[in-house]
Amino acid sequence: MRLRVIGCSGAEFPGHNPSAFLIDDSLLLDAGTVGSVLKEDEQWRINDILVSHPHLDHIRGIPLLADNIVVSGLDKTVRVISTAEVIAAIGSHLMNGVIWPDFTRIPSPQNPIIQYREIVPEQAFTVGAYTVQACRVNHTVPAVGYRITKGDTTLLYTGDTGPTERIWELAGDVTALVVEVSFPCDMEEIALMTGHLTPCLLGKELAKLAKLPPRILITHLKPQYYERIKGELDALRLPGIELMRDGNVYDL
C-alpha cells in the first residue's frame, strides 16, 4: 500500500494544505486538498473518496474535482463514501445547488459525476482491493476513522478526534497509524472543546492500544504551533513517531 500525502495540515497557509491522503493513486482518504496539488491525469485516477467528517477542510476538494471532471468531458463517476450523517451534510450544505451544483445529478441522475455510498460504522465493506471498516470517533460533528486493509497491510486513520475509545479497541494489528495532533499541550482546553488532540493527550490515547504500530504518522498540526508540537512529541520518547509533511510518500 502506497500512501501519498496531498495535505496534512490543520489550517491553510502557503505550503500547508488541508487533509487529503491518496492510497495507491485511486482511493482518496478525505478531500481537503485535491485540484491545487494533483495533476490533471492524477485527478482522473481517483475512483473513491472515504470521508471522515463534513468539516470544510476535509471535503472542499470534492466539488472542485467534480467540476474538473465535467469540464474535461470525461465519462466518469467518483464514489463519495461515508456514514449517512456525513453524506447528508455534504448534500445539504455543500453540493446543494446553491453553494455548489449538485453533481449527483450532473450530467444526469442516471450517469452522475458524484455518487454517494452510505456505510454503517463497524460493518466491514470493500472498496476495490481494500477491506474497510469505519469507526465513530469523538469530534464536534459526526465523524469516523477508518481501518483500511490490503493484503497483509493495515492502515488506521483517526480523522479528527479528541480522546476516544472504540477505534483503539478495533485497531488490532496495524501497519501504520495516521493520527491527528492539532494543538500543543498547554492548549488542551481548546483541543478538548473542538474535538482534537495534543501531544499529552496523544500519549494517553496510544496507551489504550494493546500494541503500538511500527509507524505512527502525525497529521493535522496547526502550522503556527508546529515546532512546539514537534518538541512535545519528541519528549514522549515513543518509537515510530513521524510528523507528516505535504508531498511525503510512504510505502507501507
Does residue 162 form part of some domain?
A: yes
**Whole-number pLDDT of residue 120:** 98
- Specify whether 110 is located in the same domain as 56: yes
* 65-119 pLDDT tens trace: 999 999 999 999 999 999 999 999 999 999 999 999 999 999 999 999 999 999 9
Nearest to 62 by CA among 76, 43, 75: 43
Does residue 249 form part of some domain?
A: no
Q: pTM (2 decimals)?
A: 0.97
- Rounded to an integer, what distance in angstroms lies between the CA atom of residue 79 and that of residue 234? 39
- Rounded to an integer, what distance in angstroms lies between the CA atom of residue 34 and that of residue 6? 7
**Whole-number pLDDT of residue 223:** 97
Strand-pair category, 215-219 with 241-243: parallel
User: Which string of DSSP letters, residue by residue, matches 159-190?
Assistant: -S-SS-SHHHHH--S-SEEEEE--S-GGGHHH
C-alpha separations of 217 from 3, 75, 157 in Å:
11, 36, 9
* 10-34 pLDDT tens trace: 999 999 999 999 999 999 999 999 9
- Chain CA centroid to CA 196, Å: 14
**Whole-number pLDDT of residue 26:** 97
**Whole-number pLDDT of residue 181:** 98
Strand-pair category, 144-150 with 153-157: antiparallel
Range of the domain at 53: 10-118
**Whole-number pLDDT of residue 131:** 98
Nearest to 45 by CA among 61, 62, 22, 67: 22
Cβ-contact 91, 100 below 8 angstroms: no
The H or E element that residue 85 is part of is helix 84-93
Percentage of the chain with pLDDT > 70?
100
Does residue 218 form part of some domain?
A: yes
- Specify whether 55 is located in the same domain as 155: no
- Specify whether 141 is located in the same domain as 95: no
User: Which of 85, 118, 151 is a domain's end point?
Assistant: 118
- Specify whether 125 is located in the same domain as 212: yes
Task: Say which CATH number the domain at 73 has.
Answer: 3.60.15.10
Nearest to 32 by CA among 4, 5, 3, 62: 62
Does residue 132 form part of some domain?
A: yes
Residue range 215-244: mean pLDDT, rounded: 97
pLDDT class for 180, splitting at 50, 70, 90? very high
Residue range 140-154: mean pLDDT, rounded: 98
How many distinct structural domains can be found in the chain? Answer: 2
Compute the mean pLDDT over every residue in the chain, rounded to the nearest whole number: 97
Does residue 250 form part of some domain?
A: no
- Specify whether 107 is located in the same domain as 153: no
- Rounded to an integer, what distance in angstroms lies between the CA atom of residue 27 and that of residue 1? 11
